[in-house]
Amino acid sequence: MLAVLDYGGGNLKSIVNRLESFGVSYSVTDKAEDIARADKIIFPGQGHFGQVMQALTFKGLAEPLIARIRQGAPFLGICVGLQVLFDSSEEAPGVRGLGLLKGKIVRFTQGKIPQIGWNKINVTAANTFLREDYFYFVNSYYAVCETPEVVSATADYQIPFTAAVQAGNIAATQFHPEKSGQAGYDALARWVSEE
């Protein structure tokens, strides 16, 4: 079963609508036992790094999520669902992330913040399911990876920044594929169909 993580925030409706259109079997859940046995996991993200980590801890979801990802379940994080994979964020000093990827989340220091709108991504060799196209971003922060080989796509907003990451069974996008028209639809469809 594909589990859509409900931590009390996130953009669940748009993701669910996409999954419905694919005709795939899924469940929206905030239960640790569902995450522990999920075949695939989508973490739809919207919100503040600290509040999201607090919600995961309060609901008892952080440890089962880390364990299931480490066991190899395919994982797709979106927006803050990418950010929490890292060790820490300038958005919430002192709050630990999931620590599955090495690095930190930092705030843009130039341009209008947050970045809101369409931006073109450039994919790297780490990518398996994205195509170079325009995707919809809403972000004030971005990932600085200690292991650059996990960066699967970049984009430019005053500076080049991490638009997506991929490492083994872990994939995550800073942009919102569920709000990115045909390009996003196709990317989600490819991820869902990957073995």
Residue 85 structure tokens:
């994979």
Task: Let me know if 140 is exposed, middle or buried by CB neighbors in 10 A (0-12, 13-18, 19+).
Answer: middle
CA gap 143, 117 in Å, rounded: 18
pLDDT number for residue 46: 84
Q: Sorting pLDDT into bands at 50, 70 and 90, what band is 126?
A: very high
Mean pLDDT of 107-135: 97
**Residue 72 predicted with pLDDT over 70:** yes
Query: Active-site residues: which are they?
Result: 79, 176, 178
Q: What's 106's domain CATH number?
A: 3.40.50.880
Q: CA angle at residue 101 from 97 to 105, to 5 degrees?
A: 55
Name the 3-class secondary structure at 83: helix
pLDDT number for residue 9: 77
pLDDT number for residue 11: 73
User: Tell me: the pLDDT tens digits for 13-68?
Assistant: 999 999 999 999 999 999 999 999 999 999 998 889 999 999 999 999 999 999 99
Q: What is the pTM (predicted TM-score) of this model?
A: 0.97
Q: Sorting pLDDT into bands at 50, 70 and 90, what band is 194?
A: confident
Residue 79 near residue 25, CB atoms below 8 Å: no
Domain limits for position 142: 2-193
pLDDT number for residue 54: 96
Name the 3-class secondary structure at 103: strand
pLDDT number for residue 10: 67
pLDDT number for residue 155: 98
Counted domains in the chain:
1
